[in-house]
Structure 1
Amino acid sequence: MADKPLNVLIIEDNLDDFFLIQAMLEEVETAEFELKHGETLDEGLKLFDDNTFDVMLLDLGLPDSEGFETFAQSYQHSRQIPIIILTGLKDEKLGNRAVKEGAQDYLVKGEISGPLLSRSINYAIERKNAEKKLLKTEESLKKSLQEKEVLLREIHHRVKNNMQIISSLFNLESTYTTNIEEKKIFEDSQNRVKSMAMIHEKLYQSHDLAKIDFADYIKSLASVLFSSYGVSTDIKLTINVEDVLFDIETAVPCGLIVNELLTNSIKHAFPRDRNGEIIIKLHRDDEENFILTVSDNGVGFPEGLDFKNTDTLGLQLVDTLVRQLEGTIELNKKDGTEFIVTFKELFYKKRM
């Protein structure tokens, strides 16, 4: 015998069927059952509210409720316990539908035996307990994920703030020198830090905290650089970027490359208030490579200068970042200057 009787709520309007079920369960030797009986749905649900049950046996055809609606109301009211549907031969489709919607089992009246009913009750209780454990685990995982998202959002926010402090320090240091070249170095360094800070700002503002809309990022970065260097309205900026989402592994080096190449065009392509256009493009080719192009129709790249072997920090940085992206870079000198960077998206690699 079981240590503890199983409390069974039977909602059945046919007394003959109820007494038959009662007799079947009394004959079961491996378990003990305590039954309570309601003849209507309203009566049965009131019994549920006033008592504690392990399982419900539910007839779908009741005086105050008929068909699937009987199960729907019962399940909504008492979803914390398993429900076993009692059907006639003509109601098997309803029984199947109820099982799909949350009932643990259905039994056809006239085909029920004591052992079958007892086994169905025990299995239903075990499955319901397993569902509860699974739901509890799922809720725990959701809570843990939410906590991690909050933490990650805070980390990105703090990194962005710390980078802004570094940028402000560069700005402060630049006020202590009157040397024009030194001031330019501080300004360039500030913008590099800003370009990275903006990545973290976009990440903590994004929905999933993992990827940023790179088209939106490029527009924001270009706006900051144009403002920082006081670019004339005679210089037109065209941005043609596909809808691309990058994670931080790709976004940071790619963002710095855009920063350096755009800065190079702003500073050197249009001397003496010359007008012109700077174009930034990013698209994906048929082989899943990303093609980043930064071009201008300015005075052109100096002849005889190898852009991969220069003394300028900006182009050295670009070359290093392209290698970090495991990509390639080309220079087209026709009709101005055009840098073409080809790369694949990087994915997170576990650090040792």
Structure 2
Amino acid sequence: MPRTILYVDDDVALARLAERHLGRAGYEVIPATDGASAMTVMEKGGIDAVVLDHYLRAETGLDIFHRLREHDATIPVIYVTGSSDATIAIEAMKNGASDYVIKTVGEEFWPLMQNAIGQAISNANLRREKEKAEQEIRLGKERAEVLLAEVNHRVANSLALVAALIRLQAGSSKNEDVKEALAETQARITAIAGMHRSLYTSDDVRQVEMDKYLGTLVNEVQGTVVDRQGPSIRLDADCIALTSDRAVSVGMIVTELLTNAVKYAYEPGRDGEVRVLFKHQPDGKALLAVEDDGIGWKEGDTVQGTGLGSRIVKSMASTLGSSIEYVVRPVGTRAEIILDIAL
């Protein structure tokens, strides 16, 4: 299929030469002598490139160039000038011309013109293909994010249903040890469900906003594990985003440490506070800590309960490339982990 060239020049004889020389190269040439006739041709469409002469009777090529750009900024323009002043060609290129050709009386003018037109059309096609590919990538990414958000929504709902069933089973059990084990299992499932819920309500389905996630998690633990007369929980978390797998590990650690703290940190019936901290640290790291002002516990002391929670915490800390540390304090217990945010 021949390419169509709009050739704007008030020299009728030169326009005829353009039709002959460019026609041999497979181009269809439509001549125009001024800006008005050029715009009329452009309005009809089907133009693949424009050859635009600088010196015209009533205007310059740059005057027409701006009007062409307003009509269609994607069509390549080859600027032609017979001036030896390079500033004209530079000005045209600055305004977005694809190339320029110096007008001469020799035979080399037409091969140079053909080459400039061919390169300009090829480059314009490449740009359009690139923009099309980028648009398809953007649309594909948007579809994938919508699908991923829907998947996270369904997973969160399914896990919430499992947690509810476990809660019903715990309520029907007459064995206190079974009730306690089921309550802890429910808290662990709820922690994972909360992460998925955070993902489908977030603007970025690849990242979990930890301050919001931990806020929901703390409320869940406070409502399902903690006796209303027992310790309260306070959260102090910076706005830090983690990938979903790392967010799950942090959530499981917080759940286990909180559960242990509210059950064992204070004497039965005594009020107190358990604090959860997630704070920025230097060099792209974050500090996760759970602390209380209770009776105190340090690493090496006898583990209360089954010890499953301690094993979960150590395992989750390992997946974060870190380890759990118990800080010696005058009163109470503080467990902390330093982790890399960007991993």
TM-score (norm 2): 0.85
Q: Percent identity?
A: 24
Q: Distance in 2 between matches of 1:75 and 1:218?
A: 53
Equivalent in the alignment of 1:350: none
Which of 317, 320, 334 is the aligned partner of 2:315?
A: 320
Partner Cα distance (1:302, 1:31) in 2: 86
Change (3 A) 1:220 1:321: same
Q: Which of 331, 335, 346 matches 2:326?
A: 331
Which of 154, 161, 166 is the matching residue for 2:157? 161
Q: Distance in 1 between matches of 2:211 and 2:240?
A: 7
Q: Which residue of 2 aligns with 1:138?
A: 134
Secondary structure, counterpart of 2:324 in structure 1: strand
CA deviation profile, 1:21-71 (whole Å, cap 9, x unmatched)? 542552468514432233343432221232522211234677897675643
> Shift of the alpha carbon at 1:258?
0.6
Structure 1 residues 66 and 152: alpha-carbon distance in aligned structure 2, compared to 1, 3 A threshold: farther
Deviations 1:165-186 (A, max 9, x none): 1111101212321233322222
Q: Residues 123 and 67 from structure 1, CA distance in 2 versus in 1: closer, same or farther, beyond 3 angstroms?
A: closer
Q: How does 1:12-91 map to 2 (within 5 A)?
A: 12=9, 15-16=10-11, 18-24=12-18, 26-27=20-21, 31-59=25-53, 70-87=64-81, 88=83, 89=85, 90-91=87-88
Q: How many Å apart are 1:208 and its aligned residue?
A: 2.2
Paired position in structure 1 for 2:259: 263
SS of the residue corresponding to residue 81 of structure 1 reads coil
Unmatched 5+ stretches in structure 2: none
CA RMSD across the alignment: 3.1
**1:222-259: CA deviations, max 9, x gaps?**
12222224555884544333332110221111110011
- Secondary structure of 1:53 counterpart: coil
Q: Kindly indicate whether residue 98 of structure 2 is the aligned counterpart of residue 104 of structure 1.
A: yes
Task: Kindly report which structure 2 residues correspond to 1:253-332, keeping only aligned pairs within 5 A, or say none.
Answer: 253-286=249-282, 288-301=284-297, 305-307=301-303, 311-332=306-327
Q: Judging changes above 3 Å, is the alpha-carbon distance between structure 1 residues 127 and 332 closer, same or farther for their aligned structure 2 residues?
A: closer
Distance 1:51 1:182, change over 3 A: closer
Native 8 Å contact 1:330 1:340 kept in 2 = yes
Q: Structure 1 residues 50, 345: closer, same or farther in 2, change over 3 A?
A: closer
1:197/1:5 CA distance change after superposition, 3 Å = closer
Partner of 1:226: 222
Counterpart amino acid of residue 23 in structure 1? L
In the superposition, relative to structure 1, how do residues 302 and 148 fare at CA in structure 2: closer, same or farther (>3 Å)? closer
Amino acid at match of 1:19: A
User: Do the aligned residues in 1 keep the contact of 2:218 with 2:235 (CA within 8 Å)?
Assistant: no
Q: Distance in 1 between matches of 2:78 and 2:186?
A: 69
Deviation at 1:80, TM superposition (A): 4.9
Which moves more between the two structures, 106-115 or 63-72?
63-72
C-alpha change, 1:68 and 1:227, in structure 2 (3 Å) is farther
| CA distance in structure 1 between the aligned counterparts of 2:267 and 2:184, rounded to whole angstroms | 18
TM-score normalised by structure 1 residue count? 0.83
**For residues 67 and 168 of structure 1, what CA distance do their matches in structure 2 show?**
75
CA distance in 1, matches of 2:57, 2:152: 61
- The aligned residue for residue 176 of structure 1 is 172
5+ residue gaps, structure 1, are 348-352
2:53 counterpart of 1:95:
no
Task: Look up the equivalent residue of 2:163 and give its one-letter code.
Answer: S
Give CA deviations for 1:62-93 in whole Å, capped at 9, x if unaligned. Answer: 78976756434313423453222334534223
